[in-house]
């Protein structure tokens, strides 16, 4: 009788732990993303994302998202070559990852290689025509290049698009509105 009770308890504990493991992995996966939005977690986020990537548990779109998140964290840490490598891996695992293209565009924008930035923002828009942030980013790149007519067109497109009420959409709309107000004071011929 005692042996049955001990076995039942052991089995119950094993099942409880087994049920917690997927939850722990899911929380850690979301921690990799959360680090991209919380400045205090940037360093820790790189470690979490790296551990998840190295685990071999994630494939396809999930693995692409991990690489994209770690790439974004590397951008925030100004480790742009590491970011380029991660974003390339993200696109290898999911060639339709608009955010990875957008993040690559941000790297080229930061490096003042505006032609390459426009190409990457175009790729993001091609993959996801509703990605409001990519239009804003392309607009600011055109503005930096002195192409104010194209910049205005992209900023206006941001304001005209419905967006998906994501934080990035609200951010892009606010930035586009500010940019158009600023450019309204500049003569564009």
| Averaged pLDDT, 101-116 | 98
> Closest by alpha carbon to 131, among 98, 157, 156?
98
Two structure tokens written together for 157: 């497109």
Q: What size, in residues, is the chain?
A: 189
- The answer to whether 52 and 58 are in contact (CB under 8 A) is yes
Question: What are the tens digits of pLDDT across the range 36-70?
Answer: 888 888 889 999 999 999 999 999 999 999 999 99
Run of H or E including 129: none
In the predicted model, what is the mean pLDDT of residues 63-85? 97
Q: Give percent of the chain above pLDDT 70.
A: 84
Q: What token pair was written down for 185?
A: 């004071």
The pLDDT value recorded for residue 54 is 95
Separation of alpha carbons 28 and 138, rounded Å: 33
Say yes or no to pLDDT of 6 above 70. Answer: no
**63 vs 1 pLDDT, higher one:** 63
Q: Quick one: 79 exposed, middle or buried, by C-beta within 10 A (0-12, 13-18, 19+)?
A: middle
pLDDT, tens only, 125-178 = 999 999 999 999 999 999 999 999 999 999 999 999 987 788 889 999 999 999
């Amino acid at each position: 009788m005692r042996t049955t009770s001990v076995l039942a308890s052991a089995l119950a504990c094993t099942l409880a732990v087994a049920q917690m493991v997927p939850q722990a992995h899911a929380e850690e996966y979301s921690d990799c993303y959360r680090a991209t939005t919380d400045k205090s977690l940037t360093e820790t986020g790189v470690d979490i994302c790296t551990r998840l990537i190295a685990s071999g548990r994630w494939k396809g779109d999930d693995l692409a998202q991990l690489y994209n998140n770690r790439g974004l964290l590397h951008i925030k840490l100004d480790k742009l070559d590491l970011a380029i490598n991660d974003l390339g891996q993200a696109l290898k695992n999911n060639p339709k990852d608009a955010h990875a293209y957008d993040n690559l565009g941000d790297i080229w924008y930061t490096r003042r290689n505006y032609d390459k930035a426009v190409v990457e923002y175009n790729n993001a828009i091609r993959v996801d025509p509703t990605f409001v942030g990519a239009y804003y980013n392309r607009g600011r790149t055109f503005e930096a290049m002195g192409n104010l007519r194209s910049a205005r067109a992209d900023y206006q497109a941001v304001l005209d698009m419905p967006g998906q009420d994501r934080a990035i959409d609200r951010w892009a709309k606010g930035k586009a509105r500010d940019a158009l107000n600023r450019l309204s004071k500049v003569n564009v011929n």
